[in-house]
């Protein structure tokens, strides 16, 4: 059994895998990580290996605890990858994007894949059927768009994410919801359509916190998998021990 730890800017995602199946998953704030790790150690004594991926900051104490209890791989852009990375600035490439591409390589071998991650930012990452990672794009995520409208204007309110019923907003609030939600949906559909024009038999995977919120709003056929990044890290843990 494996432990996967994905550290973001504010939250930590933890998952225990038996083979390729998630048997336990928890998302916590960083201050609650050690308490949750204690629960994992108590309930899953069979776990021997771990992978740690850090995008934000993570305390040395928590890192040391993982190293103490498990055979740990610290995942970085310098780790072994199963695909050919053609990104021109590979050291600046986020480990989360690398994990997502690895999941696509593992689960859709020999396919042209576009992975769209709906996190703080929307990231688009493309790997072709030959296993060459080409790069992608980064744009503001849903919450960032709501916050930007509030932060860079004097009178627009900060709203929570909400699905608009109509593209025509008949109030300031419904206009904001329409602009943000329809805007990001049209963006994603447009990007997918462009990739489909240039790449035959494209497989599209939508993941991240807002994946299921947007899935039914997209015209294109996609796979929605909120655990795709965790699955990619689990694959990389096995790959880096055997490669």
Q: How far apart are CA 210 and CA 216, in angstroms?
A: 11
Helix (H, G, I), strand (E, B) or coil at 38: helix
Catalytic residue list contains 201: no
Q: Which of 32, 34, 38, 96 is catalytic?
A: 96
CA angle 230, 236, 239 (to 5 degrees): 150
Nearest to 126 by CA among 118, 115, 141, 110: 115
**CB 126 within 8 Å of CB 84:** no
Q: Strand order of the sheet with strand 71-75?
A: 21-29, 11-18, 2-7, 49-54, 71-75
Positive/negative CA dihedral, 133, 55, 75, 203? negative
Rounded distance, CA 25 to CA 22, Å? 7
Q: Which residues are annotated as a binding site for ATP?
A: 6-13, 120
Cβ-based burial of 68 (10 A; exposed 0-12, middle 13-18, buried ≥19) = exposed
Q: E strands of 64-131, at which residues? A: 71-75, 84-85, 112-118, 121-127
Instruction: At 101, give phi and psi (nearest 5°).
Output: -65, -40
Which residues are identified as catalytic?
A: 96
């Amino acid at each position: 059994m494996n432990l996967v730890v994905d550290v973001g800017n504010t939250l930590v995602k933890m998952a225990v895998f038996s083979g390729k199946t998630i048997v336990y998953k928890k998302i916590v704030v960083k201050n609650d990580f050690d308490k949750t790790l204690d629960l994992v150690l108590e309930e899953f004594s069979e776990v021997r290996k771990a992978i740690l991926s850090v995008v934000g900051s993570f305390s040395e104490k928590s890192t040391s605890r993982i190293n103490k209890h498990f055979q740990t791989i610290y995942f970085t852009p310098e780790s072994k990858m199963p695909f050919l990375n053609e990104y021109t600035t590979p050291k600046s490439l986020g480990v989360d994007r690398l994990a997502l591409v690895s999941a696509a390589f593992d689960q859709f071998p020999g396919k042209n894949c576009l992975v769209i991650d709906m996190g703080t930012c929307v990231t688009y990452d493309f790997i072709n059927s030959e296993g060459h990672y080409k790069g992608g794009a980064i744009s503001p995520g849903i919450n960032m768009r709501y916050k930007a409208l509030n932060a860079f204007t004097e009178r627009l309110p900060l709203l929570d994410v909400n699905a608009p019923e109509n593209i025509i907003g008949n109030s300031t609030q419904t206009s904001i919801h329409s602009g943000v939600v329809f805007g990001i949906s049209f963006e994603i559909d447009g990007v997918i359509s462009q990739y489909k024009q240039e790449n035959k038999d494209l497989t599209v995977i939508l993941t991240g916190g807002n994946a299921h919120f947007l899935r039914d709003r997209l015209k294109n056929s996609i796979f929605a998998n909120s655990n795709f990044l965790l699955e990619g890290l689990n694959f990389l843990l096995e790959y880096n021990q055997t490669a």
